Amino acid sequence: DSGVTQTPKHLITATGQRVTLRCSPRSGDLSVYWYQQSLDQGLQFLIQYYNGEERAKGNILERFSAQQFPDLHSELNLSSLELGDSALYFCASSVEPQYSRRYTFGSGTRLTVV
């Protein structure tokens, strides 16, 4: 157990639908990062939150959004899903504001859009 909890582990949904992925960071970590891993794009950074505030955006589509709550858990919302959104979505956490020497990843949510 890495200490980062992601739910659900698997999700199958239809095109056009909306889903929410959840992440609880490792105890003591204030920063949460979302990544998408697909066969054609590799591991792509989506978005980062630090202590409830958005810190950085990467290759995140407008159909996707995220937030970090006061208890530091984070949710990634994916809407108007397309077949190409099928991927493994990772959440990672790290200690901030120091220069992190470890980013701990959750086990991922495998999203399949049919």
Partner 1 sequence: AQKITQTQPGMFVQEKEAVTLDCTYDTSDPSYGLFWYKQPSSGEMIFLIYQGSYDQQNATEGRYSLNFQKARKSANLVISASQLGDSAMYFCAMREGRSSGSARQLTFGSGTQLTVLP
What residues make contact with partner 1 under the rule CB under 8 A? 2, 31, 33, 42-43, 45, 48, 50, 55-56, 58, 88, 90, 92, 94, 96-97, 99-108, 110
Q: Which CB, 61 or 88, lies closer to partner 1? A: 88
- Residue 38 belongs to what H/E stretch? strand 31-38
Q: Could you tell me if 108 and 77 are in contact, meaning their C-beta atoms sit under 8 angstroms apart?
A: no
Q: Which CB, 52 or 105, lies closer to partner 1? A: 105
Residue 28 CB, nearest distance to partner 1 (Å)?
16
Residue 15 CB, nearest distance to partner 1 (Å)?
23
Which amino acid belongs to residue 35?
A: Y
Q: Give how far the C-alpha of residue 13 lies from the chain's centroid of Cα atoms, to the nearest Å.
A: 17
CB atoms within 10 A of CB 38: 15
